[in-house]
């Protein structure tokens, strides 16, 4: 995992994401998911570009079922954009980098 993307789990989700002073993008994924693997490098590239402005997290849905359940995630990859503990945007599936950048722009 890239230095700019942090793994998050159910236990730390509230403190690291919902209580964060910095906007957060969470990538809900699983190691067996092809589209998740495909979007991973794009997320890592964006994490480097937005370093210091947005925190980038990955949550393995197999290891951490409570948080995806809370947000009604039925398909992966799902990326949720949080600001001040609130969901600002949500994207499901493999999408173009420009769509991710548009959602990140809503956080800044």
Catalytic residues: 33, 36
Is residue 66 within a helix (H) or strand (E), and if so which, with residue range?
A: helix 66-70
Phi, psi at residue 40, to the nearest 5°? -50, -50
What residues pair up with 78 in beta bridges, in sequence order?
Answer: 28, 92
Written as one string, the DSSP assignment of 56-102 is EEEEETTT--HHHHHTT--SSSEEEEEETTEEEEEEES---HHHHHH
């Amino acid at each position: 995992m890239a230095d700019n993307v942090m793994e998050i789990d159910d236990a730390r989700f509230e403190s690291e994401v919902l209580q964060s002073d910095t906007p957060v993008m969470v990538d809900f994924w699983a190691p067996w998911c092809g589209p998740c693997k495909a979007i991973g490098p794009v997320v890592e590239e964006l994490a480097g570009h937005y370093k210091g402005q947005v925190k980038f997290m990955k949550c393995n849905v197999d290891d951490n079922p409570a948080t995806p359940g809370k947000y009604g995630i039925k398909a992966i990859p799902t990326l949720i954009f949080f600001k001040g503990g609130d969901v600002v945007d949500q994207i499901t599936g493999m999408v173009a980098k420009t769509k991710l950048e548009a959602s990140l722009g809503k956080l800044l």
